[in-house]
Chain A
Amino acid sequence: MLLGSMSSSADIRIEPDTPEFLEATTAEELLPLYRTMLAIRRMEEASAKAYSVGKIGGFLHLAIGQEAVCTGAVAALRPEDYITATYREHGHIYARGVTSRAILAEMWGKKTGVVKGLGGSMHMFSKEHNFLGGHGIVGGHVPIGVGAAFKAKYRGEKRVSAIFFGDGSTTIGGFAEGLALAALWKLPVVFICENNQYSMGTPLHRTTAARDITQRALAHDMDRDRFDGDDVIKVKRRIVSAVERARETSRPTLVEVRTYRFRGHSMSDPGLYRTREEVEEWKKGDPLVRAKRRLLEELKVGEDTLSTVAADVKEEIADAVRFADTSPESDSYLPYVLKD
């Protein structure tokens, strides 16, 4: 078969609702997750606006459309668990508990940023939250997350290491070797592939022959799971089962969550490699829309409650932008080259 004849339509199809999708939840569970997703989106929209007027420099990679993955997955973890992520990590670190103030101030390059303006959008870390970055070398961070799991096992701690990466990471050695070592040494890792269908501008069917990424787990006799990332409760439930496997039996799992970024790879990418129809199709699975619908229709949460949440988030992000705007410039790097 000619490569060109391989349609990508199968990859972008959103699965029909499944029993998992309808898995029971409560307003008490879903409402905070919805608020987190909404805050992530508003925060990223604010950062896009700031980028366009030069308040943010360098690269800015947004994950608008993917919020249910980081929000649901982080909710499946305990505070003592480790998280390692990519340069598209704003949502992950926010869901973990770092404030929108510290995140936006970091992107603004300010002293009050989560890493004092030394890391920027791509390199956010928070030791307090066991958040190990924020990494810009695609796939290079995967063995690092495996190393955190190695330490947990070395010390006999029941801690899990969650490693987030994109579909673009799955073709590089760091991913392959990290996966192999975690399986060989039976380490408590949950590998979470956020398959947003494109490694930068190249669709999955042009980067890998096996489009089911979890097939890589078969080579290592590793457990795997694969599902759509449009519903935050589903993400949480499915990741919980992998997390508990890791915690209780010290066995890793490779999870592929299919999702989609509504914007380009970075701010400089207009996304000309995909059709408007494709983007619109995926937007039908907008995780924020789905969560809102569940809250209103299934869980009978009032419109007024959601309005309050929206207003609260709006004020939080406006405050974070003011904070970033008015914070002092970053001023020091020398203390952080070598540790005493």
Chain B
Amino acid sequence: MPIISYREALNAALREEMQRDDSVFLMGEEVGHYQGAYKVSQGLREEFSSRRVVDTPIAELGFAGVGVGAAMVGLRPIIEFMSFNFSLIAIDQIVNHAAKMYQMSAGQFHIPMVFRGPSGPAVQVGAQHSQSFESYFCYVPGLKVVCPSTPADAKGLLKSAIRDNNPVVFLESELLYNTTGEVPDGEHLVDFGKADVRREGKGVTLIAWSKMVDVVLDAAESLEELGIDAEVVDPRSLRPLDTDSLVASVKKTGRCVIVEVGWPMCGLGSEIAFQLQRECLDFLDAPVERVCSDDVPMPYANNLEQEVMPQVKDIVAAVKTVLYLD
């Protein structure tokens, strides 16, 4: 199986789906002539022309809305946000329009479209470019939310997102664009709502998604040195959420730490913890623990940024808490 980067996997998904279906088009800032701010759309304008790889002015609300309208009448838009932080300008289109149209129209108009781009911290990009968005969008009925953590999932989930008949918020990670892994050539679809057990273990369940999966896998290595056998589960899609797989893992291990790079208050981990306590109360040997970013806007300085984000040591400490080892 070829080894390619997360960025190349996304590019392959876009290319293959655009080859497959003429109703699919990509629209956003710098996606065409510039080849993408993060080069995810490299080469696509040459192959598909400016008709289908559409550069926009800086007008997120406008072009996200153009996507919603085009989706209502039969196209399959992919709207790229250069950074998901800019999606806040378009959130009216995502939440009030894309997510609600199917119900408001009693099923007459569905919105087969993808909003995609990098979400979460990168490296020292400051408070306005470092935010995580899964909690915002998971809140909304009518949306699907996915967060690939590997190149293979990036390709398979994006292809599924483009073929989905609903609006999908597809959250990439800038920190993962250069990571590499085995990715199947051609048709490779990953269904939504199916968690991936990235590491099997019996001692504690660690739940994480997107970039945090890598950090958690590193933490699992450290825990192994301490004799703790951690299982790592990546939900991959957050809405729909594969609660059954998370519950199965926690029933096996009896302990759980949820790790997310978002803020703690109303973070997605709160909802997952709620569902776990409801489904697994009799199996839990300790309260579910969470590791999040600190409850502050992201500072610029590298040392402070590291301090804010979940680190291996934070995860190890949380695991010790649920194992009553401190």
Interface residue? A178 (CB, 8 A): yes
In the complex, what residue of chain A is closest to B103 when comparing beta carbons? A336
Interface residue? A173 (CB, 8 A): yes
Cβ of A118 and Cβ of B103 under 8 Å apart?
Answer: yes
In the complex, what residue of chain A is closest to B51 when comparing beta carbons? A154
Cβ of A125 and Cβ of B66 under 8 Å apart?
Answer: no
- Quick one: given A125-B109, A142-B65, A144-B65, are A82 and B73 in contact (CB under 8 Å)? yes
- Range of interface residues on chain B? 35 or more
Name A180's contact: one of B25, B62, B67 (CB within 8 Å).
B62
Interface residue? A78 (CB, 8 A): no
Cβ of B106 and Cβ of A118 under 8 Å apart?
Answer: yes
Residues on A with C-beta less than 8 A from B51 are 154
- Among B53-61, B126-134, B208-216, the one that faces the other chain is B53-61
User: For residues 82 through 130 of chain B, which have their beta carbon under 8 Å from a beta carbon of chain A?
Assistant: 89, 92-93, 96-97, 101-110, 112
In the complex, what residue of chain A is closest to B111 when comparing beta carbons? A339
Number of A residues near B (Cβ < 8 Å) is 46
- Quick one: given A132-B109, A181-B62, A184-B57, are A146 and B25 in contact (CB under 8 Å)? no
Cβ of B141 and Cβ of A337 under 8 Å apart?
Answer: yes
User: For residues 201 through 248 of chain B, which have their beta carbon under 8 Å from a beta carbon of chain A?
Assistant: none
Cβ of A174 and Cβ of B61 under 8 Å apart?
Answer: yes
Cβ of A174 and Cβ of B70 under 8 Å apart?
Answer: no
Interface residue? A229 (CB, 8 A): no
In the complex, what residue of chain B is closest to A161 when comparing beta carbons? B69
Cβ of A143 and Cβ of B93 under 8 Å apart?
Answer: yes
Interface string of A135-176 (1 = CB under 8 A from B): 111001111111111110010000001000000000001101
Cβ of B102 and Cβ of A84 under 8 Å apart?
Answer: no
User: For residues 296 through 340 of chain A, which have their beta carbon under 8 Å from a beta carbon of chain B?
Assistant: 333, 335-340
Name B97's contact: one of A137, A178, A336 (CB within 8 Å).
A137
Residues on B with C-beta less than 8 A from A127 are 105, 108-109
Cβ of A181 and Cβ of B66 under 8 Å apart?
Answer: yes
How many residue-residue contacts, CB under 8 A, span A and B?
A: 145
Residues on B with C-beta less than 8 A from A136 are 96
In the complex, what residue of chain A is closest to B105 when comparing beta carbons? A125
User: For residues 36 through 82 of chain B, which have their beta carbon under 8 Å from a beta carbon of chain A?
Assistant: 51, 56-57, 59, 61-75, 77
**What's the least CB distance linking B53 to chain A, in Å?**
12
Interface string of B180-214 (1 = CB under 8 A from A): 00000000000000000000000000000000000
Interface residue? B142 (CB, 8 A): yes
**What's the least CB distance linking B321 to chain A, in Å?**
37
Name A147's contact: one of B67, B89, B102 (CB within 8 Å).
B67
In the complex, what residue of chain B is closest to A175 when comparing beta carbons? B62
User: For residues 10 through 63 of chain A, which have their beta carbon under 8 Å from a beta carbon of chain B?
Assistant: none
Most chain B beta-carbon neighbours within 10 Å: one of A118, A133, A140, A336: A336
User: For residues 193 through 246 of chain A, which have their beta carbon under 8 Å from a beta carbon of chain B?
Assistant: none
Cβ of B64 and Cβ of A116 under 8 Å apart?
Answer: no
- Quick one: given A147-B71, A174-B92, are A336 and B102 in contact (CB under 8 Å)? yes
Complex: how many Å from CA A133 to CA B65? 14
Cβ of B62 and Cβ of A144 under 8 Å apart?
Answer: no
User: For residues 229 through 285 of chain B, which have their beta carbon under 8 Å from a beta carbon of chain A?
Assistant: none
- Quick one: given A137-B92, A180-B62, are A126 and B108 in contact (CB under 8 Å)? yes
Complex: how many Å from CA A337 to CA B110? 10
User: For residues 82 through 125 of chain A, which have their beta carbon under 8 Å from a beta carbon of chain B?
Assistant: 82, 84, 115-116, 118-119, 123, 125
Complex: how many Å from CA A119 to CA B107? 11
- Quick one: given A137-B92, A184-B57, are A144 and B105 in contact (CB under 8 Å)? no
**What's the least CB distance linking B82 to chain A, in Å?**
16
Cβ of A144 and Cβ of B97 under 8 Å apart?
Answer: yes
Residues on B with C-beta less than 8 A from A340 are 165
Name A134's contact: one of B89, B96, B104 (CB within 8 Å).
B104
Interface residue? B5 (CB, 8 A): no
Complex: how many Å from CA A150 to CA B66? 7
Residues on B with C-beta less than 8 A from A181 are 56-57, 59, 62-63, 66
A-B pairs with lowest CB-CB distance, top 3: A147-B69, A143-B65, A177-B62
21 contacts between A and B (CB under 8 A): A84-B69, A115-B106, A132-B69, A132-B109, A133-B101, A140-B92, A140-B96, A143-B64, A146-B62, A146-B66, A147-B66, A147-B69, A173-B89, A176-B62, A177-B62, A178-B65, A180-B57, A181-B56, A337-B102, A337-B142, A339-B102
Listed in ascending order, the chain B residues whose CB lies under 8 Å from chain A are 25, 51, 56-57, 59, 61-75, 77, 89, 92-93, 96-97, 101-110, 112, 141-142, 144, 165-166
Given contacts A140-B93, A146-B65, A176-B62, 8 further A-B contacts (CB under 8 A): A118-B106, A126-B108, A137-B97, A143-B62, A147-B77, A177-B63, A181-B63, A338-B102
